[in-house]
Amino acid sequence: MPKAKAMTLNEFKRAFANLKKRGWIPSKRKGPTGIGQTLEQALGLKENNIAVPDLKNVELKAHRVSSSSLITLFTFNRKVWKMKPLEAIHKYGTPDQDGRMGLYFTMSRTPNSTGLFLHIESETISVRHVSGEMIAEWNLETLAERFMQKLPALILVGAFSEMRGDVEWFKYDRARLLRGTSANIISSEVWTGNVMFDVRLTSRLASDAIRFLVNEDEIIQLFREVITL
């Protein structure tokens, strides 16, 4: 089957203006993904596919206004380990619910229960132990490049949410086009605690992952350019 044609930015603006006029609409799906599924159906999008001039297709994301949830931006583990992963598990790991040892932490600049924390310097961010031992390190410019590969641009739609019985209803309120970031922005957002690193490192190397998380309601702070649509 041919790939669905992307909605242009002007087409999105018109469709979103009509959606705002509709006011409250019931969710098409229960659970946290209902807000995005309902938005796509209401806009008539067959795929999460919007075309912006000078860029490839842009991701569309909906969020609940004032949500405190954390969302994943991307994962990036290549050539970052300063300590062998199995050694890190042996020294600083804890058991999961099945008794398997691993590193299962969402980390910020504040040391966690095993003494691990995020350390920020002018050009790098690292996972360290309070003893000074370094577990992994990222170059900030490389992180910014990775971010731009994954999210060159994002249309962020905010919606108010309320429960009516057992059905969640949404009122889609604002759409913004977000573009561009920098090493300084990423560093600043880690410093303020808006961006955190989620480590899920187990002895099974295929499942190693460090995810970069952001507070859902603060993702806008990671972008250099913000345009209200």
Distance CA 21, CA 136 (A): 49
**CA distance readout (Å), 76 to 1, 24, 44, 136, 209:** 33, 39, 33, 11, 8
% of the chain surpassing 70 pLDDT: 90
Q: Which residues contact 97 (CB under 8 A, 6 or more apart)?
A: none
With bands split at pLDDT 50, 70 and 90, how would you rate the model's confidence at 56? Answer: low
Distance CA 175, CA 12 (A): 10
Token pair listed for 20: 């705002």
pTM over 0.85: no
**Model pLDDT, residue 206:** 46
The sign of the CA dihedral 100, 103, 106, 109 is: positive
pLDDT higher than 90, residue 187: yes
% of the chain surpassing 90 pLDDT: 41
Backbone region of residue 132 per phi and psi (left: phi > 0; alpha: psi in -120 to 50; beta: other values)? left
Distance CA 58, CA 101 (A): 39
192 in helix, strand or coil? Answer: helix
With bands split at pLDDT 50, 70 and 90, how would you rate the model's confidence at 49? Answer: low
**Model pLDDT, residue 141:** 94
